[in-house]
A and B are shown apart, each in its own frame.
Chain A
Amino acid sequence: METKTDLKEETKTETAKTVKGSEAVILSLLHEGVDTIFGYPGGAIMPIYDALYDYQDKIEHILVRHEQGATHMAQGYAKTSDKPGIVFATSGPGSTNLITGLSNAKIDSIPMICITGQVPSHLLGFDAFQETDVVGISMPVTKWNYQVTKAAEIPEVMAKAFYIASSGRPGPVLIDITKDAQNQFIDFTYKRVHQVSGYFPNPKTNPEKIREAANLINNAKKPLLLAGHGISIAGAEEELTAFVNKTGIPVGCTLLGLSTFPTRHPLYAGMLGMHGNYAPNIQTNEADLIIAIGMRFDDRVTGDTSRYAIKAKVIHIDIDQAEIDKNIKADVAIISDAKKALQQLIPMVKTNVHDEWLEEFKKLEAIEFEKIIQKDIHPKAGQIKMAEVIHQVSERTKGEAIVVTDVGQHQMMAARYYQFAHTKSMITSGGLGTMGFGVPAAFGAAMGQDKRPVVVFVGDGGIQMTIQELATIWQHKRPVKIVLLNNGFLGMVRQWQQLFHERRYSFTTLVNPDFQMIAKGNGIESSKINTRDELKNSIDKMFNFDGPYLLEVEVEQEDNVFPMVPSGASVSDIILEP
Chain B
Amino acid sequence: MEKEFTLLVNTENNIGLLNHLSIVFTRRKLNIESLTVSESKIKGIYSFTIVIKTRRDVIDRVAKQLENIIGVIKVFVYENDEIIHQELAMYKLPISAIEKGLQIESVVRTHNARVLNIENDYILIEKTGHKADTQKLMEELKPYGILQFIRTGRVAMAKPMKDLEIHIREKNAAYEILED
Instruction: Give me the interface of A with B, judged by CB distance under 8 Å.
Output: 135-136, 139-140, 143-145, 164, 167, 194-204, 320-322, 324-326
Contact = CB atoms under 8 A, between A and B. Distances in A.
A140 B27 CA distance: 9
Contacts of A322: 61, 64-65, 67-68
A326 B67 CA distance: 14
A195 B68 contact: no
Given A139-B19, A167-B178, 13 more contacts: A135-B16, A139-B16, A139-B20, A196-B70, A198-B14, A198-B70, A199-B70, A199-B71, A203-B174, A203-B175, A321-B64, A321-B68, A322-B61
Interface string B123-164: 000000000000000000000000000000000000000000
B61 A326 contact: yes
B176 interface: yes
B177 A198 contact: no
Q: In the A-B complex, list the 10 residue pairs whose CB atoms are closest, starting with the nearest.
A: A198-B71, A322-B64, A198-B12, A200-B175, A199-B70, A202-B176, A322-B68, A144-B70, A322-B65, A140-B23
Given A139-B19, A203-B175, A198 B72 contact: yes
Interface string B46-84: 000000000000001100110110111100000000000
B111 interface: no
Pick from A144, A200, A201, A325 the residue with the most CB of B within 10 Å. A200
Contacts of A164: 70
A159 to B, nearest CB: 12
A328 B62 CA distance: 15
A194 B23 contact: no
Interface residues of B, number: 27
B2 interface: no
B174 A204 contact: yes
16 contacts: A135-B16, A139-B23, A140-B23, A140-B27, A194-B180, A195-B177, A197-B71, A199-B70, A199-B71, A200-B171, A202-B175, A202-B176, A202-B178, A321-B67, A321-B68, A326-B61
Contacts of B72: 198
B179 interface: yes
B60 A325 contact: yes
A144 B171 CA distance: 21
Contact of B175 (A145, A204, A324): A204
B72 to A, nearest CB: 6
B6 interface: no
B95 to A, nearest CB: 42
Nearest to A335: B174
Interface in B81-112: none
Contacts of A143: 70
A140 B20 CA distance: 7
Interface of B: 11-12, 14, 16, 19-20, 23, 27, 60-61, 64-65, 67-68, 70-73, 171, 173-180
A204 B171 CA distance: 11
A554 B173 CA distance: 59
B117 to A, nearest CB: 36
Contacts of B171: 200
Contacts of B73: 197-198
A345 B179 CA distance: 24
A153 to B, nearest CB: 12
A145 B70 CA distance: 10
B68 A320 contact: yes
A135 B178 CA distance: 29
A62 B165 CA distance: 49
A320 B177 CA distance: 16
B170 to A, nearest CB: 12
Pick from A136, A140, A198 the residue with the most CB of B within 10 Å. A198
Pick from B12, B68, B72 the residue with the most CB of A within 10 Å. B68
Nearest to B62: A322
B22 to A, nearest CB: 10
Contacts of A326: 61, 64
Contacts of B174: 200, 203-204
Contacts of A320: 68
Contact of B61 (A145, A197, A325): A325
Nearest to B63: A322
A117 B180 CA distance: 30
Contact of A194 (B11, B61, B178): B178
Contacts of A325: 60-61
A332 B71 CA distance: 28
Nearest to B173: A204
A166 B51 CA distance: 34
B64 A324 contact: yes
Nearest to B17: A198
A145 B173 CA distance: 27
A556 to B, nearest CB: 40
B30 to A, nearest CB: 15
A167 B72 CA distance: 17
A322 B64 CA distance: 5
Contacts of B67: 200, 321-322
Contacts of A144: 70
B70 A136 contact: no
A324 B65 CA distance: 11
A78 to B, nearest CB: 16
Contacts of A199: 70-71
Contacts of A202: 175-178
Nearest to B57: A325
B178 to A, nearest CB: 5
A326 B61 CA distance: 6
Nearest to A324: B64
Contacts of A167: 178
A322 B173 CA distance: 18
Contacts of A135: 16
A432 to B, nearest CB: 15
